[in-house]
A and B are shown apart, each in its own frame.
Chain A
Amino acid sequence: MTVRVQQATFDIGREVSGFAKGRSDVGAIVTFTGVVRDVGDGLRHMLIEHYPAMTQNAIEKIEAEAAQRWSLGDSLIIHRFGPLEPGELIMMVATAAPHRADAFQAAEFLMDYLKSRAPFWKKEVTRNGEAWVCAKEEDEDALRRW
């Protein structure tokens, strides 16, 4: 169970190959990586703000909830903050479990909760100006299925 909140980028390959390494009880590893995407407004960069005093604990709580619901051997969450350019990595989630169903579901659960319960806010700076990304109704709906 690892949570890292950082400004620096990370190397997906290195993170995944080191994750749950040497665990003989793990039969499935699922990973998700979020990337800064230009939705067509000429994105210059995305600014990610967070609540430093709260972020780590909030994510650890979400991770602990996932560990209670599914049989997880391990989990890893990395989330970046600061200015990020299109194509840069924003975050990643990795889950390891004896079976793939648990690994997939736990990863989706973590993603859904990180989206609307971890204290991050995104601002898009485009060639037309800048605007805070609004939370979507469907993000809130996504939590109701769990």
Chain B
Amino acid sequence: MIDVVYFAWVRERIGLPKERIETDARTVAELVAELRRREPRYDAAFADVSALRVAVDQQLSDFDASLAGAREVAFFPPMTGG
């Protein structure tokens, strides 16, 4: 089980802020592929991963990062703080 959280337009496109997912995905990329197969709204949100950033357990990470032991994965657009 892993918590998947979404922010900004990713949250809006998928239509929910957070969900708990039963998955065997070993990497972020595998999780993305699995989500894209679910429904068109996921497919649309993840169509261009170069437009997305990912954090694994609240640490900025990469799409090839391992999910071993991970509890939370977050997907969001590039940050616009300051």
Question: Which A residues are in CB contact (< 8 Å) with B74?
Answer: 51, 54, 119
From 14 to 44 in chain B, residues with beta carbon under 8 angstroms from any chain A beta carbon are none
Interface string of B1-22 (1 = CB under 8 A from A): 0000101110000000000000
Q: Are A57 and B7 in contact (CB under 8 A)?
A: no
Give the distance in Å from the alpha carbon of A40 to the alpha carbon of B44 in the complex. 31
User: Given A57-B58, A117-B60, A121-B76: A51 and B81 within 8 A (CB)?
Assistant: no
B11 nearest in chain A by CB position: A49
Q: Give A residues with C-beta under 8 Å from B.
A: 34, 49, 51, 53-54, 57-58, 79, 90-91, 111, 114-123, 132-135, 140
Once the chains bind, are B8 and A135 in contact (CB under 8 Å)? Answer: no
Determine the chain A residues whose CB is within 8 A of the CB of B78 once the complex forms.
116, 134-135, 140
| Set of chain B residues within 8 Å of A58, measured between Cβ atoms | 58, 60
Q: Which residues of B contact A119 (CB under 8 A)?
A: 7, 55, 74, 76, 79, 81
A97 and B68 CA atoms in complex are apart in Å by: 42
Give the shortest distance, in Å, between A11 (CB) and chain B (any CB): 20
Q: Give chain B's interface residues, CB within 8 Å of chain A.
A: 5, 7-9, 55, 58-60, 72, 74, 76-82
CB neighbours (8 Å) of A135 from chain B are 77-80
In contact, A54 and B81 (Cβ under 8 angstroms): no
Main secondary structure on chain A at its contact with chain B?
Answer: mixed
In the bound complex, do residue B8 and residue A123 qualify as a contact, i.e. CB atoms below 8 Å apart? yes
Q: How far is the CA of A118 from the CA of B7 in the complex (A)?
A: 13
Which of B9, B58, B82 makes the CB contact (< 8 A) with A51?
A: B58
Cα of A123 to Cα of B5 in the assembled complex, Å: 18
A-B contact pairs, 11 of them (CB 8 A): A34-B82, A51-B76, A54-B74, A57-B58, A79-B81, A119-B76, A120-B79, A120-B81, A133-B80, A135-B77, A140-B78
